[in-house]
Structure 1
């Protein structure tokens, strides 16, 4: 609830300063995107922490990376399913289908698309190896949000 309180405070301050009233549905979408971003941040921490904990114990770096990825996807599923894209009482959603779709969207954007974009930005556009991953995020984060919101965690009205 602290995030909701902070976001509501931010909305009031923004409205007071700009004199622009934000519609509730637009605001709720923005708040959902911020929550999604916080989950993504925690996924990154889990993935990197797992990697940096396992590698010193002579776990192969690729195995450590895959374990970190799997743990971060499990974390993403829990928080996205129960907090970010929480279904309403009148809605139904298969948790197994949602998990499979989430895994596919993360694998598609996080592994496949990320590497294609990395190649494109560095080899074709000659952008720095250090800047290209940041540019990737500008594409993959919104895409992942859309995939999760409208595909992986899309709920249907109960019949």
Structure 2
């Protein structure tokens, strides 16, 4: 693979993670608030993850994976949105399983367990997003 390809992948990874930081902030804020208000932690995870997921779909489609200005002129592609939903549902399932394992079986505090689960799923999310969710037949813009 060429050097320019690796530069593009590195730039995408940086954008993906910057957007991911925002998604994570949204996710953690909502999760923490819901826990503080007494919401069951798995329901809190579902709601908080969903809010971050919506933000991720919009911003990664527009800025990370080569859609650029074209994304602002067109609605989200239905097929891509479906792949996004499937992939993030899989990641949500993994995160719920890990969260339940860390809190119920290992006795870890919910917010700390959430932090560990988040670190675990970041790499999986980038790989799946790049290779399957946001694939396009159009050339990517660097």
Same fold by TM-score, threshold 0.5 exceeded? yes
Pairing 1:103–2:85 present: yes
Contact 2:57 2:84 survives alignment (8 Å):
yes
The change in CA–CA distance for 1:113 and 1:153 in structure 2 (over 3 A counts) is same
Of the candidates 44, 62, 66, which is equivalent to residue 82 of structure 1?
Answer: 62
CA distance in 2, matches of 1:150, 1:75: 20
Q: CA deviation at 1:105?
A: 1.4
Gaps of 5+ in 2: none
Pairing 1:26–2:6 present: yes
State the structure with more CA Rg.
1
Q: CA deviation at 1:31?
A: 1.3
Structure 2-normalised TM-score? 0.66
2:51 counterpart residue number: 71
Contact 2:95 2:117 survives alignment (8 Å):
no
Contact 2:45 2:96 survives alignment (8 Å):
no
Q: CA deviation at 1:146?
A: 1.7
Pairing 1:149–2:130 present: yes
Gaps of 5+ in 1: 1-21
1:112 counterpart residue number: 93
Structure 1-normalised TM-score? 0.60
Contact 1:36 1:84 survives alignment (8 Å):
yes
For residues 53-91 of structure 1, what are the alpha-carbon distances to aligned partners after superposition, in whole Å with 9 as ceiling and x for unaligned? 4455x57344443222211111000111000013376xx
Q: CA deviation at 1:116?
A: 5.1
The change in CA–CA distance for 1:142 and 1:52 in structure 2 (over 3 A counts) is closer
Contact 2:34 2:44 survives alignment (8 Å):
yes
Contact 2:26 2:51 survives alignment (8 Å):
yes
Of the candidates 32, 37, 47, which is equivalent to residue 17 of structure 2?
Answer: 37
CA distance in 1, matches of 2:29, 2:94: 23
Aligned CA RMSD, in angstroms, stands at: 3.8
Contact 1:93 1:153 survives alignment (8 Å):
no
The change in CA–CA distance for 1:72 and 1:132 in structure 2 (over 3 A counts) is closer
